[in-house]
Structure 1
Amino acid sequence: MLQTHDHLNTRMRRTLSRGRVALTAPAGCPAIDLYLFDPAVLEGPLSHDEAQAVVAEPAYWSFCWASGQVLAQYILDHPESVAGRRVIDFGSGSGIVAIAAARAGARQVVACDIDGDALAAVTANAEANGVQVDLCDDWLRRRDGFDVVTAADVLYDPENRPLLSAFREAAPRVLLADSRVKDLGDDHYVLQVVHEARTWPDLHEFEEFNRVRIYQADR
């Protein structure tokens, strides 16, 4: 049986032939360890072309995006927002937000992502942090009864804007982090805080994408 990191390495190399993962703590949420892309395999930082290739390819789970780090840290700092509640994390990627919710005392946490590689990473990362996170590969087939929806950096495509309403219909509380949309166009979402963070490892994105806004919607 492959070790956890070898299993993830095999998945990563579908995108980056010389890629590998390493256990690291993102600067924006250092209390959580994640198996992420190891830039030490490269000579120096990612080149512009390599960074663009990573963004264009599906190994999103191997990077921890700024919004995910900020939302995870926010949940750890405000455990009352999820404690004792059933939480579903939409577009989990590496699973940092789901893991934070579990660490903060959520009664159940479900990580939802259509990418099977991401769900494998969530499982490995949850194990590395000593928490239980359940999995869902289809938002439309999720179970009912959730108290909180969490989502980070999911509004990059304008066609995703209807998710704002879908999240509010799915649970009485939504915690949303985004660095790309300055005006959500939905007054139900109330700005809580703004923090700076960078993708980990750093993809050298535009500075404006490092400014993360946390919103909460309650009904």
Structure 2
Amino acid sequence: MEADQVLSTQIGVTDFVSANTSVGPVPFVPEVRLHLAPEAIALWERMEESSGRSDTAPPFWAFAWAGGVAVARYVLDHPEVVAGRTVLDIAAGSGLVAVAAAKAGARAVRAVEIDPYAVGAIELNARANAVAVQADCADLLDGDGAPADVVLAGDVFYERAMAARFLPFLERARRRGAVVLVGDPGRAYLPADRFQAVARYDVPVSADLEDRPMKPTTVWQLLS
């Protein structure tokens, strides 16, 4: 795709995100404001209508998921983890974690997603919080996240196939010296023996997303 076509597509995506969300504070992380949607199914249907495709990815970017909320809360409460460092938010969704890292004093923040709608949401959310976040549409999981000093991920162990790609990526990042933090609300495929718990929270969540209004969520640090 030519550069001008990419720009045109991204502008259209950003307009869609803006038109179908409203900006408000994130429960449990009120320091951050995001473009959020009230519910998922109708938004997903509108995405498919807008794109003319029936295989559009779910709108993960339109909600504050428990894992990301926990990592964002931890980073804001412990700014020394990211202050003055380069940070990568992988599978960033709305960019909540990236925005929190920027607010906590990270020197540079990159948020990466494979969904163009998420990239559009990240750009809007960085702007809404007056922080600098580099939002990229890319699949980095065959690498090691270099040159980021800190690699952050919220809620990435909910599927077996996804976990099978994420754990080796995170371990490569850890081996080269990066600090690796993951937020997880008890998903089935988190290999807890590879991590150390550094914080636990009861995170308020949308009933449209989870099976209960409060989700116990742990922030895990990957062991050496």
TM-score by length of 1: 0.78
Aligned pairs (5 A) from 1:37-48? 37=37, 39=38
**Structure 2 counterpart of 1:164:** 167
Whole-angstrom CA distance in 2 between matches of 1:53 and 1:74: 34
1:194 alignment partner, SS class: strand
User: Structure 1 residue 213 and structure 2 residue 218: aligned?
Assistant: yes
Identity %: 32
- The answer to whether the 8 A contact 2:204-2:213 is kept is no
Unaligned runs of 5+ in 2: 1-11, 47-55
Measured at CA, do residues 105 and 58 of structure 1 come closer, stay the same or move farther in structure 2, by a change above 3 Å?
A: same
Measured at CA, do residues 209 and 167 of structure 1 come closer, stay the same or move farther in structure 2, by a change above 3 Å?
A: farther
- The answer to whether the 8 A contact 2:113-2:136 is kept is yes
Unaligned runs of 5+ in 1: 1-5, 13-18, 40-45
**Structure 2 counterpart of 1:83:** 83
Whole-angstrom CA distance in 2 between matches of 1:121 and 1:31: 18
Whole-angstrom CA distance in 2 between matches of 1:152 and 1:131: 20
**Structure 2 counterpart of 1:114:** 114
TM-score by length of 2: 0.77
User: Structure 1 residue 92 and structure 2 residue 92: aligned?
Assistant: yes
Whole-angstrom CA distance in 2 between matches of 1:210 and 1:53: 27
Matched residue count: 199
Q: CA RMSD for the aligned pairs? A: 3.0
1:144 Cα shift? 2.5
Give structure 1 regions of 4+ aligned residues with deviation exceeding 2 angstroms. Answer: 6-12, 49-54, 139-144, 180-188
Whole-angstrom CA distance in 2 between matches of 1:51 and 1:126: 21
Deviations 1:121-171 (A, max 9, x none): 111110111110012222338773111110011111011223123112124
Whole-angstrom CA distance in 2 between matches of 1:91 and 1:10: 20
